Amino acid sequence: MHGQNGYCHIVCNPLSTAYFTTTATDRLTVIDVLTNHRPRRFVVNAEALGDVEAGGLSAVRRRQLAQVPVDVMMDEAMLQALLETHLPGLGPQQRKWILDATAVAAYHADVEFPVVRLLVCDDAPQCTLVTEELALCWVHEGRH
pLDDT digits (tens, 9 = 90+) for 2-44: 788 888 877 777 777 788 888 888 999 999 999 989 999 999 9
Q: Output 4 or 139, whichever has higher pLDDT.
A: 4
Find the DSSP H helices in the chain: 27-34, 46-54, 59-65, 76-86, 92-109, 138-141
For residue 26, which amino acid is it?
D
Q: What proportion of the chain, given as a percentage, has pLDDT over 70?
A: 94
The SS3 assignment for 136 reads strand
